[in-house]
Amino acid sequence: MTEAAAPSPTAASPAVASNFIRQIVVGDRAAGKHGGRVATRFPPEPNGYLHLGHAKAICLDFGVAREFGGSTALRFDDTNPAKEDIEYVEAIKNDVRWLGFDWDALRHTSDYFEVLYLCAEKLIRDGKAFVCDLSAEEVRAYRGTLTEPGRNSPYRERSVEENLDLFRRMRAGEFADGARTLRAKIDMASGNINMRDPAIYRIRRMTHQNTGDAWCIYPMYDYAHCISDAVEGITHSFCTLEFEDHRPLYDWCLDQLDLPGDAALTEPLRRSGLWLQPTRPQQIEFARGNLDYTVMSKRKLMALVSDGLVDGWDDPRMPTLAGVRRRGFTPAAIRTFWERAGVTKQNSVIPFSVLEACVREDLDAGAPRRMAVLDPLKLVITNLDAAHEESIAFPNHPKNAELGTRQVPFSRELWIEREDFAEVPPKGFHRLVPGGEVRLRGIGIVRCEDVVKNDDGSIRELCCTLDPETRAGLPGADRKVKGTIHWVSAKHAVAADVRLYERLFAAADPDDTSDGKTYAEHLNGDSKRVLRAWLEPSLAGTPPELHVQFERLGYFVADRYDHAHGNPVFNRTVTLRDSFAASK
């Protein structure tokens, strides 16, 4: 059942930042715990796509193990076949690889179903579990509250023999879904509600993606999680803070079962050839990763997809890893972001702009520069011949000569950004105005001589003259003007669809319902715009997922799926500066 991951295109940097989890691991190794071994696991439930919050856990689980020469298992928590899908399994594997991590073993909780069943029978034989006939509603009524103890189930004192018989008949399919559960027998007066005789098995007739129809009873997560950790030999089990109150149950189950010392419980693994060395793992909780202008609930993300409010799980506005990948965020930037955010026990919300800054930092170093015009206005250089054409050399990156140069065609008619011209300029405007001058990037200074309009008064084109002596290397190159603008040759430009993305939500906390709105009502209606733009021809044959900087406009990526030769499609990854904050 092991599967090695494909080599990652970008190796993740070891996690070296000091935090309380790293200190625990260092202390355990110094004390010789587990023989100094470090084994972690990433246990996603395959009921949706991974999001940026999961990336924090991935970086922690894989990063800690890598730093200390340990191992990490990718384990799918497939205990709820009602919500699981092979599509999600493959997406999760792809996302982990894309982030730059490899797993040492690929596991499924269903690999241990027989072990989990034997452990349940042991709990019954030891008087630590019983079959309960209460309905879900009755269980809730018996559970009590945070201030009042619960009441024992009327079925709590069944004999070991009756419980074993009923549990085996549950497995055999004799009872209807929901008719009975197997519950741990702990303490209905416990101050921790999770310890008030929690359910550990329920009846659910449903075909499982791995085991088919072999089972009609399935273990609950809290029960399956700790046993799976133990049989896999996990040493440090990292969980988010919401599982802190579940840790006593995690430890209780392991205390009752003693998996390292009871070979009979793991016999099914030896028979199947999936033998591991059980250990006693330690659960350690940390604060989850939260960002503003974002929701991280799988249920809400699923609703956005199923209700058609976004264009799928990989919509570039979604916080899913598939979405941010399509948006153009890089694995290195995401890893850097979570490393800088740190690992603590303090819940906090990090500004999305901090993640965007990490993306800018990464792309600035390596993304080649290109020219593109998103909102075109024609500029005609009237003192050039109508057939004038030439090729101008531009560096691919102003800070990295090793990336070389490219040839960009130049002709008499150009496209410029419409916002680079103003008939009535606002204060501080330093671009083109009637009778004014501006420098065309790499060409020289042009003067606007005439503004040609359509019948409706809209501007059709600008007629300009070029001062040929102001090109670089010529005597007039030092002549000063305040503005420099980019352009593309109208004759040679390539048409493309360019998608401009903003935050999916207009509210910093979409989950805040104090204004009477649901999270869906906080959606940003301007989060996606599609423009028909003009690009320099070197972009026509770029491969999907190529990152570029459109000069003066931002960082863009060739769409992972829709971009093709002859049909360029680019997504804006991030602006050159935090324009979203400036607009608030």
Binding site for L-glutamine: which residues?
Answer: 77, 221
End-to-end CA distance of the chain: 51
DSSP conformational letter for 287: P
Instruction: List the Cα angle 85/90/94 in 5-degree steps.
Output: 145
Whole-angstrom distance, CA of residue 284 vs CA of residue 229: 13
Is residue 66 within 8 A of residue 14, CB to CB? The reply is: yes
Task: Output the known binding site.
Answer: 45-47, 51-57, 77, 221, 240, 296-298
Burial 398-415 (b: 16+ CB within 10 A, else e): eeeeeeeebebbbbbbbb
Where do runs of H (alpha helix) occur along 258-313?
A: 267-272, 298-306
Phi, psi of 132 (to 5 degrees): -115, 135
Is residue 523 within 8 A of residue 506, CB to CB? The reply is: yes
**What are the beta bridge partners of residue 201?**
182, 219
Task: Output the known binding site for ATP.
Answer: 45-47, 51-57, 240, 296-298
Whole-angstrom distance, CA of residue 43 vs CA of residue 58: 10
Q: How far is CA 146 from the centre of its chain?
A: 35
Whole-angstrom distance, CA of residue 15 vs CA of residue 38: 14
Comparing CA positions, the residue from 419, 411, 421 lying closest to residue 536 is 411
Q: Which residues are catalytic?
A: 45, 288, 298
Phi, psi of 208 (to 5 degrees): -95, 145
Q: How far is CA 374 from the centre of its chain?
A: 28
Comparing CA positions, the residue from 340, 366, 292, 320 lying closest to residue 557 is 366
Comparing CA positions, the residue from 340, 326, 360, 362 lying closest to residue 56 is 340
Q: What is the bridge-based pairing of β-strands 547-550 and 369-370?
A: parallel
269: helix, strand or coil: helix
Phi, psi of 76 (to 5 degrees): -85, 120
Comparing CA positions, the residue from 242, 203, 207, 190 lying closest to residue 85 is 207
54: helix, strand or coil: helix
Is residue 578 within 8 A of residue 563, CB to CB? The reply is: no
